[in-house]
Amino acid sequence: MIVLHRHQLVYLSDVGWSAILARPWDAQAQNCLAHWAAHRLPLVVTRQPADAAITDPIALGLSAPTRWSRRRLALQVPREALLYFAEFPQLAQVQGLLPGSARRAVRDLLAGLRKCRATSRAFGSYGWQALSGLDHLRQESDFDLWIGVDDAAHADAVTRLLQSFAATSPRLDGEIMFSDGTAVAWREWADWRCGLTRAVMTRGLSGVALRHDAAWCECSHLSAVAA
């Protein structure tokens, strides 16, 4: 059984790409998809229908670089077209893309996350540029990370580290993700945990939910995400 999670990458087979390229895309989308297929670049898992059956196609997306107007392409791909799964690059792998003024802050963040035993991955513009080598980044691009956490206490510790990020540019954003795949924007988590909001919005593969208590994120019921 395929278990999907947010920000998961998918690589397609040659047969899968041939089927996608045969669809009636406009010229810009066709050109972008042809490049993705030729260079064996991944797609990303997007929101899935809540009532999806295990035999239904999987919803995937592509975030195009500037040369294709930063378009977001949505695709429905048969499961038999999936070759293998992967993840966005770890934070340490994208350091070289950051401006020099932010690199000390990133090194400090990395050291803190290692002490917390938390894995961080860069998605968004930084993640896509690291994967494709193309022009995804702009001056105003946020630095989006998702960080895996075990439970509420672990999430609190990670969030404190993110709040201490010393660089102001790029803006650090992103999510903490619990081991069952439930994700929360880390800034929203911080506000909720210090009482600035009465509820927090959680994000999953099939939608969002408002949570008022922390019972859902206690480690006793969380199951590991598997690809």
Q: What pLDDT is attached to residue 26?
A: 97
Which one-letter amino acid corresponds to residue 134?
L
Question: Which of 25-34, 48-57, 80-89, 128-137 has the lowest average pLDDT?
Answer: 48-57
Question: pLDDT value at position 146?
Answer: 97
Peptide bond into 65 cis (omega under 30): no
Enter the tokens of residue 50: 């809540």
pLDDT at 2 over 80: no
Cα separation, 211 vs 195, in Å, equals 13
Taking a C-beta distance cutoff of 8 angstroms, is the pair 75, 61 a contact?
yes
Write the pLDDT tens digit of every residue in 47-82. 998 887 888 999 999 999 999 999 999 999 999 999
- What pLDDT, on a 0 to 100 scale, did the predictor assign at position 109? 96
Q: Among all chains, which residue has been given the structure tokens 């903490």?
A: 176
Using CA atoms, how far apart are residues 173 and 144, in angstroms rounded to an integer?
5
Whether the per-residue pLDDT at 221 is higher than 90: the answer is: no
**196-215 pLDDT, tens digit each:** 999 999 999 999 999 999 88
Asked if the model's pLDDT at residue 224 lies above 60, the reply is no
Asked if pLDDT for residue 113 goes beyond 90, the answer is: yes
* Cβ atoms within 10 Å, residue 171: 12
**What pLDDT is stored for residue 54 in this prediction?**
82
Q: What is the pLDDT of residues 4-27, one digit of tens each?
A: 999 999 999 999 999 999 999 999
Instruction: Evaluate whether 100 touches 71 at the Cβ level (below 8 Å).
Output: no
pLDDT attached to residue 1:
59
Average pLDDT score over the chain = 93
Confidence at 220, pLDDT banded by 50, 70, 90? very low
Domain boundaries, the chain: 8-87, 91-221
